[in-house]
């Protein structure tokens, strides 16, 4: 009862504020209709919030955790059951972070977000182009400095 009274009071206050605005021009006949539409909008805003809270606590995975990691080429999403090489973009499109995804389905912190074969291929490619190594010019300079210190 108090929530509906609060919604009526809030709708009334919003209508009064709208009418006090100098840029608003309306006839007296339109005020009750506007007040009713404000009340309906406020009631609509209160109702879905309760339904979302009740429905958001139970998430059933589309596949089992074991099946999601069965292939080396892809990881099957627990959200929709589709295979992905990486889950990050899929999770972002569903409004989740990897940690939220793990928490939602009760996964361990070391649950992978990238398929093993994809990770190995990317690692091999990075090694072939020389990522993660110091440049060849810096290495001889540091060796010369070490030799100079050894002679002293």
Higher pLDDT, 91 or 55: 91
Please state the CATH superfamily assignment of the domain spanning residues 65-128 in this structure: ROS/MUCR transcriptional regulator protein (1.10.10.1550)
What is the torsion angle, in degrees rounded to the nearest 10, for the CA atoms of residue 131, residue 133, residue 134 and residue 137?
-90
Dmax over CA atoms of the chain, in Å, equals 100
Rg, Å, the chain Cα set? 30
- Residues 123-140 pLDDT 10s: 999 999 999 888 776 555
The structural domains of the chain, with segments of one domain joined by +, span: 2-55, 65-128
Q: Which residues pair with 75 in a beta bridge?
A: 84
Give the three-class secondary structure for 111.
coil
Give the predicted TM-score (pTM) of the model.
0.52
- What number is the average pLDDT over the span 13-33? 81
Instruction: Output phi, psi for 128, to 5 deg.
Output: -70, -30
């Amino acid at each position: 009862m108090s929530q509906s009274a609060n919604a009526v009071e809030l709708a009334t206050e919003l209508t009064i504020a709208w009418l006090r605005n100098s840029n608003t021009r309306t006839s007296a006949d339109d005020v009750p209709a506007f007040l009713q539409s404000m009340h309906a909008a406020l009631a609509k805003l209160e109702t879905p919030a309760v339904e979302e809270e009740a429905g958001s606590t139970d998430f059933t995975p589309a596949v089992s955790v074991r099946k999601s990691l069965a292939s080396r080429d892809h990881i099957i999403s627990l959200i929709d059951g589709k295979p992905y090489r990486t889950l990050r973009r899929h999770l972002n499109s569903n409004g989740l972070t990897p940690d939220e995804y793990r928490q939602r389905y009760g996964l361990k912190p070391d649950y992978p977000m990238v398929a093993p074969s994809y990770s190995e291929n990317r690692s091999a490619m990075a090694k072939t182009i020389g990522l993660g190594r110091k440049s060849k010019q810096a290495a001889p300079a540091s060796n010369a400095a070490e030799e100079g210190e050894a002679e002293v």
